[in-house]
Amino acid sequence: MYKQTSSNRRYSKTSNNKSARNSGNRGHSKGGYKSRNSSSRSNWKGKNRHQYRQKIAHSMYISNAEDVKTSVPYIPEKNFCDFHLHPSLVKNISDRGYVNPTKIQDQAIPEILKGKDLLGTASTGSGKTGAFLIPMIDKVLKNPGNRVLIISPTRELANQISSEFRKFAKDTRLKVVLVIGGESSRDQIRILKRRPQFVVATPGRLMDLEKRNFIVLGRFNNVVLDEVDRMLDMGFVEDIKMLISKLSAPKTVLIFLSYRGSKRRSFSKYSIKYSC
């Protein structure tokens, strides 16, 4: 039987290490020697990674840096106390934590208080509802003979306007009625018979009650068309023309347009006219 000598064992150890080095095995060999091909393998991987990166078009994922224009906050010229509003209305505004008006409020309220007609444009969330509710409530408080008709495109917006009205007109004894679809017309007719100072309506239900003589449009001397561009886009062009034609020379007509983001809508193309 062949007996392995110590020299043979040493030769076997070195041969195993040599075969490990030639095989390019990762890490360490059985004899504890580090593979010499590890550095060459890493270089080979690095070369492949470099070649792979060259195939990727970075412009597909990373755009060039652009200068971002920061919006300058609007500084109002007046605060709510400068509008000389009714004391009860000023108290309700103060209780809600409002001190300075928004841009649309700062520009629209003084003109409405002067009794002027107005065409305003403002985005959702800019305080547009308060821009016409505050001066209209003040006008009715100072002259109870005024009646205000507010027309909005959707039931959701009409509910929002009615909710805002109740907050601004708290403890003033002013009444509002919602004339919208999806609700009981019987309850709306019952409240209309009490002749509330404010009527918030959508075009469909308003047209229905007007045809049934439950509401007389000629009694309103203040009319607000909120987000009228949406109403016209929804196909209420002829309805709005008919409603305006039945108004008996209103003293104040307020028209508000809405735009979302940078999209502005043109109102002149609809050719809706009114006479004062």
**Does pLDDT of 179 surpass 80?**
yes
- The CA distances from residue 89 to 11, 29, 96, in Å, are 104, 89, 11
| pLDDT value, residue 125 | 76
Question: What domain range is 190 assigned to?
Answer: 87-270
Is residue 25 domain-resident? no
Phi/psi zone of residue 198: left (φ > 0), alpha (ψ -120 to 50 degrees), beta? beta
**Does pLDDT of 2 surpass 70?**
no
| pLDDT value, residue 180 | 95
Q: What percent of the chain has pLDDT over 90?
A: 47
| pLDDT value, residue 124 | 73
What CATH code is carried by the domain that includes residue 100?
3.40.50.300
Is residue 158 domain-resident? yes
For 205, residues 6+ apart whose C-beta sits below 8 A from its C-beta are 179, 180, 181, 185, 188
Is residue 44 domain-resident? no
Is residue 129 domain-resident? yes
Average pLDDT of the chain is 77
Is residue 105 domain-resident? yes
- Nearest alpha carbon to residue 272 among 247, 233, 230, 242: 242
| pLDDT value, residue 273 | 42
**Does pLDDT of 13 surpass 50?**
no
Is residue 206 domain-resident? yes
- Nearest alpha carbon to residue 149 among 211, 207, 93: 207
When divided into structural domains, the chain yields a total of: 1
| pLDDT value, residue 11 | 45
Is residue 55 domain-resident? no
CA–CA separation, 225 and 145 (whole Å) = 21
Report H helices in the chain.
6-23, 37-55, 87-95, 103-113, 128-142, 155-168, 185-192, 203-211, 228-233, 237-245
pLDDT digits over 88-140, tens only?
A: 999 999 999 888 899 999 999 999 999 999 999 887 778 899 999 999 999 99
pLDDT bucket at 255, cuts 50 / 70 / 90: very high
CA–CA separation, 45 and 59 (whole Å) = 25
Is residue 18 domain-resident? no
- Nearest alpha carbon to residue 22 among 36, 41, 8, 40: 36
**Does pLDDT of 268 surpass 50?**
no
User: Rounded to the nearest 5 degrees, what angle is found at the Cα of 205, between the Cα atoms of 260 and 104?
Assistant: 30
| pLDDT value, residue 70 | 52
pLDDT bucket at 199, cuts 50 / 70 / 90: very high
